Structure formats: structure tokens, C-alpha cells
Structure 1
Amino acid sequence: MSYKALALQLNCQSITNSQTRDEAEFMMLRSIERIETQIAASIGHIGRDTLLIVAPESFLTGIPTRETIHEWREKAALEINGPIYEALSAMVQRQQVYFSGNAYEQDPFFPELYFQTSFIIGPNGDVLLRYRQLNAMYAPTPHDVWELYLDAYGYDSLFPVARTNIGNLACLSSDDILFPEVARCLAMRGAEVLLHSASEIASPLQTPRKIAKQARAIENMAYVVSANSAGVSGSPLPAETTDGHSRIVDHKGIVLAEAAYGESLVANADIDLAALREFRQRPALANLLARQRYELYANSYAQHSVYPPDTLLSQPAERAFFVRTQQEVIKKLYS
């Protein structure tokens, strides 16, 4: 099977300090209307075989810069069964695609926190999976409430894979592309297409994340569909800092398409599932998945701990606390 995937490069409207929750949700709903128009036009331009669309990180809200964890949760974090997901579901049903995006999300088990969540919505409007970002600098992650998170959801919830008629789809967001273990754990569970929502520094140079996207594709013999933002409006950061270079990389690490700057449909390419599956089933030096010897590494990981788990079970989630924790980790690593 072959179909088109699109890393849709969107301008993200940032929620501001002066907005109320109702105003923020109204802005998100307007953004969904604008995005649906762009999706419909993109499908018309690229072809009806465009079945997978990936949106950037925080595409409905921008990222918090001055807000506390509590302020951002109350203003910008989506309710799991709330009106924003309902609007996204309706959009996806109308367009008949698989849609992956990334949002800050409330969680009933952790009422004081939010998690940065990548999701996939299927053509029937159902949310097929939720992936919570595992490596963040200034935001809560499942690892920060490790014991309680595992009690609530179990270990396998950390690395969900959706088995669909367009392949085995998995998400990883933002900085998680820089951590090889995340993509590898998804590949262990059968992932064939890695959907990466980003809002990253855009540069014509070979940035760490650009290199990582190709490396993760090669290591895991998987496609990487990575959507970056086309700038963030309303943020105190320079608006075009995170503008451009959405890309699609194939299972051999070849960049199939890459957008330049601004809102764009240029990062679209064929996903050839038959070729990927044939490549994975061929005995060869290049078949890295079949050459893995996990037992070599398991003991080393078990014996070493770097960033501590459960840090937010006894401390409030604030940016200064995350910085102090990292400073303590660095001291431990290099003392």
C-alpha cells in the first residue's frame, strides 16, 4: 500500500496572558476552522490519496513562556472529552484522514498538572492513541509522577502504537526525537511511521533535531513525518524563530520532502508500506531491527539512574524547580 502523508506547516496562534479560558477556547475553535480549510485545500492540491496529516507542536495554543504551570493548565490545557477535541474529531470525520497533533492536556488523575500530549484521530473521529511527552525541560511528564502514573495507566501506555489500515502509527513530540530510546521503544512495539509534532528552531544548517530525524528513521527502519510550526503569533519570542523545515524521511534515512518557510504543504511524500515491510524482512547488514541484541544494554540501564523519577510527588511544578533539579543532576554526573 502507498499513500500520501503531509507534514502541514502551520502558523500557531499563541494564547496570551490577558485571555480568559473562554477566550482561549474561542481562539482555538477559530484556528480549527482555518486549519480545516487548509487541509481541504491541501488534499485538493496533493490528491485524495492524502490520508495522513501531522500538525505542529502546540498548534492551537503556542507554548507557555511566562505563565506558571497552574495558569497554563487553567487557560490552555485541553479537557480530554472537551469541546476542542470534539471540534477536532468533527473536522477529521469531514476530511476523512488520519490526523495527528499535539496539545497541552488536563488529566483527571493529576488535577494540578498538565501533560504535553500527541494524539492520533482516525477517520471515524475516534482518538486512537495519546502519547505524553517523556522528556521535557519545563513541563510535567509521566516520569515526574512515575509511581502514580504507572498505577493509573500502566507501563505500556508510555509507548502506544495504533495499528491502522495505513500502517502502525506512533507519536513522539518535540525534544523526544533527540532521545533514541523513545523511538526504539515504539519500534519494539511495531511502529512503522513515527509522527513528530515540533515547534523547533528552524535553520538551513544541520540542527540537532534535523540530524535526529534521519537517525531515528535509519535506526528503526521507519518513516518519520515531522511537522514544524510556521512561526508563532502572539508570543514574546521573535515570531519566526520556529518557522520552517517540516520534513518527511523514509525508512532508509532519505529526506523525501522538506518545506522552506511560512505556512506550507510542501512537506508531503509517499509512504510506501510495502517497500518498508519488504526492507524489514530482508536479511542484510542494513536490517538493524533484526540485528538488535537488547540483552547487551538492559543491565546498564537498570544499574544507572540520571534524572530522578517522582520529583513532582512532593514539590510544586514550577519552572525554577525543573532548573534546580537539572542542576543537581549535572552535579551528580560530573562530581
Structure 2
Amino acid sequence: MSGDVAGEPVTAYRAVALQSACHAVNRAADAAASRDMIRAAIDRVHDQVTATKRFVGPGLRLVVLPEYLLTGHPIGEPLEEWCERGALAAEGPEYARLAEIARDAGVFLCVNGYELDEHFPGVYFQASVVFGPAGETVLRYRRLNSMFAVTPHDILTRYLEVYGEDALFPVARTEIGTLAAIASEEILFPEVARCLAMRGAEVFLHSSSEVASALLSPKNVAKLARAVENGAYVVSANTAGVHGTGLPAESGDGASQIVDHRGIVLAKAGQGESMAANAEIDLAALRRARRTPEMMNLLPRQRFELYAPSYAGTSFYPPDSVRPGETARGHFAATQRRVIERLSGDGLI
């Protein structure tokens, strides 16, 4: 492989969608016990990432972890409680430890979890954070579509005042290509991937915890579609079971995969903890395909001016619907019900 020296551009390298088990913190006795479980989870990640690097070889440059691997997801806990139990501080010890793992293994490491923000006390965001092989933070993406958690869109005016438009759809231009993150069921929202592709994204890092299926489930269809639509790789890591929630643990277990820019599945894991979903990311082939005039090169064929007026003149789910510190967990479902009622009344659904 060319460009094996750290920091030099590469034309091809290996990536892995690391399928790991999640041990949820919901039933931990208190916040301190939750933090102990998070630390143990990070230790497991360290062991698995470094062992995977030894097995796959020095060409491994990118590791994507599953969704909320360190904590599991909230199950009705008030927002303030989950801030204490399952959310990480951006400059806190957990992120520092994850950065060390990326540095120790010499890889780009994408982790997804819940995080706090000093500008928005009382709420948390679900974030995908990418650490580089020097331990630096190269990307922070905060999920924009969620059924049960606060997103930047829910506090959009203030969020833009603090971070600006560029924070909504960030990409990282690195020696292993232009990286972008997509969280969980956001793979079902084509606009998210498209906005990232507009900014040059070549490799989508998809952290998920989903019901695994050998069938063409909605998420499996979406992974193929997002790859083809945007001429981009999708590295999709699913959990190897979620333990400690009361649900059958293996419900979200298996089918981590890597899809290339043609929509071809290059590698796919079965069930259980696994690094089987590893494959070559061929940036040279991707860029060659993007620069070739042909029917299936869809990205440069996009006519965005046709669609822009429809988007600009339409609002379904409202922005700025959350007041930090004043919003209860039931707000999100209630808001969706109101949107459905309005759209139904307008004859749109």
C-alpha cells in the first residue's frame, strides 16, 4: 500500500467495522457505578482494537465502533439523569482514554456516544467523534435526527450562534480520505449523507445498533443506497448484542459491513463479537469513478437548484422546539404526533 508513513496520503488501506458487545449502564446502582462500567468498556475497546490491528496488519488505518457502545441507550431516564449516568464531557477522561487507543494502535478511531456541552446545560447530544493516529480529534458530528434525544436542530438558533453552520455537516480531510459520520438510523435520511457528500465526503462512518438481518431491512437497503447515490464507502459497525436492558441481548447483533462506492458489500460479519467486517478502502478507484463522465456517476449529475425551493419553502419537524433544562423525555414523541396531525390535516400524508 502506498503512503504507509503516518500523515502521508494513501490511495488504499484497510478499515474494520468492529462488532463489539455493549453492556448498558441503565441498571448500574448510581452514576459512579455507571462510570466504572464505561471505563471497563473502554478497556475492552483497547484490547479489541489493538488485537485487531495485529491480526489485520499494519495496513489497518480506520476502525469504526458501534453506536453508544460504552453505555447503551436511555430507557426513559430523565434527561438530567442521563447527563450524569451516560454522557461524556468533551474534555473528559473517557475521551482522553479513547484518544490514547487511537494513538496506541495508530488508527483513526470513530466512537459514538452521548456527550455534554457547556453551552447547553441539562441536555446531551449523541455524537460521533473521530480520533486520529496522533490522538487528536479530527471530527465531531452531532446527530441531527433523533426520536428520543435532543439534537442541534431542536435548539437550532442558539446552536448556530455558538458553532455556526459548518458544525452541522462536518467532514475531515485526512490522509485516508475525506471522512464523515452518520449516526444510527440517520442512514435512512438521504439528505444527511448528501449534505456531507456536497462537502466532499468519501467514506461514511456509520455507527449503529440495529436489529441485524440477512434480509434487505430498511437500514441494509439504505447502506447500499447511500453508497451508490454519493459514490462513497460506507463502513457500518453494529453492536454484538446489547446486554443489561431487559431486551433479548442478541436482538441488535451482527451484520456489520463495508460497502464500496458501487454499492457492493465487500465484507460482512455474522453474529457475535467480530472483526470479520474488514476490507480495503480503495480511494484511487473511488476518485477515478467520481471523475469519469458516465451514467452511474450520480454525484456530479445532481441538479440541486431544482430541489432547493421545495426544501426552503417547507417545514415538517420544527426547529427550536427544545428548551434546555425544561424539556421532559415525552416531548419528542408528542412533537412528532403534532407534526403528523398537521401534515394529515394539510392532506400531505
Q: Is the TM value for this pair above 0.5?
A: yes
Residue 281 of structure 2, aligned match among 271, 275, 291: 271
Which residue in 1 is equivalent to 2:336?
A: 326
Q: Is the 8 A contact 2:123 2:325 kept in 1?
A: no
1:284 is aligned to 294
Matches of 1:3 and 1:25, distance apart in 2 = 35
| Aligned counterpart in structure 1 of residue 260 of structure 2, from 232, 250, 267 | 250
SS in structure 2 at match of 1:118: strand
Work out whether residues 26 and 75 of structure 2, in 8 Å CA contact, stay in contact via their aligned partners in 1. Answer: no
The equivalent residue for 1:38 is 48
Corresponding residue of 2:111: 101
- Determine if the alignment matches structure 1 residue 172 to structure 2 residue 182: yes
Matches within 5 A, 1:24-103: 24-103=34-113
Question: C-alpha offsets along residues 159-199 of structure 1, whole Å, 9 cap, x if unaligned?
Answer: 11101000000101011100000000000000000000001
The share of aligned pairs that are identical, in percent, is 52
Verify: 1:235 aligned to 2:245, yes or no: yes
| Maintained 8 Å contact 2:121/2:325 | no
Whole-angstrom CA distance in 2 between matches of 1:317 and 1:93: 39
Please, which runs of 5 or more residues in structure 1 have no aligned partner? none
Structure 2 distance, partners of 1:315, 1:34, is 34
Q: Which runs of 4+ in 1 moved over 4 A?
A: none
Identify the range of structure 1 (30-39 vs 204-213) with the bigger mean alpha-carbon deviation.
Answer: 30-39
Q: Which amino acid aligns with 1:214?
A: L
Residue 304 of structure 1: SS of its match in structure 2?
coil
**Residue 126 of structure 1 aligns with which residue?**
136
CA distance in 1, matches of 2:35, 2:330: 28
- Residue by residue over 1:202-242, the C-alpha shift from the partner in whole angstroms, topping out at 9 and shown as x without a partner, is 12221100000000000000000000000011112221111
Moved more, 277-286 or 63-72: 63-72
| Aligned residue type for 1:158 | L
Moved more, 143-152 or 63-72: 63-72
Contact 1:7 1:227 in 2 (8 A): yes
Q: Which residue type is aligned with residue 98 of structure 1?
A: F
What amino acid sits opposite 1:141 in the alignment? T
Per-residue deviation, 1:109: 0.8
C-alpha distance 96-314 of structure 1, shift in aligned 2 (>3 A):
closer
TM-score (norm 2): 0.94
- Give yes or no for contact 1:173–1:198 (8 Å, CA) kept in 2: yes
After superposition, the Cα gap between the structure-2 partners of 1:315 and 1:73, relative to the gap in structure 1 and judged at 3 Å, is: closer
Give the AA of the match of 2:113: A
* Aligned-pair CA distance for 1:314: 7.8
For the residue of structure 1 that corresponds to 2:318, the secondary structure is coil
- Unaligned 5+ segments in structure 2 are 1-10
Instruction: Tell me the matched-pair count.
Output: 335
2:311 maps to which residue?
301
| Residue pair 1:140, 1:317 contacting (<8 A) in 2 also | no
2:150 matched residue in structure 1: 140
Please report the RMSD computed on the Cα atoms of aligned residues, expressed in angstroms: 1.1
Give secondary structure in 2 for the equivalent of 1:311. Answer: coil
The answer to whether the Cα contact below 8 Å between 1:173 and 1:196 also exists between their aligned partners in 2 is yes
Q: Distance in 1 between matches of 2:91 and 2:177?
A: 26
Report how far residue 317 of structure 1 moved. Answer: 2.8
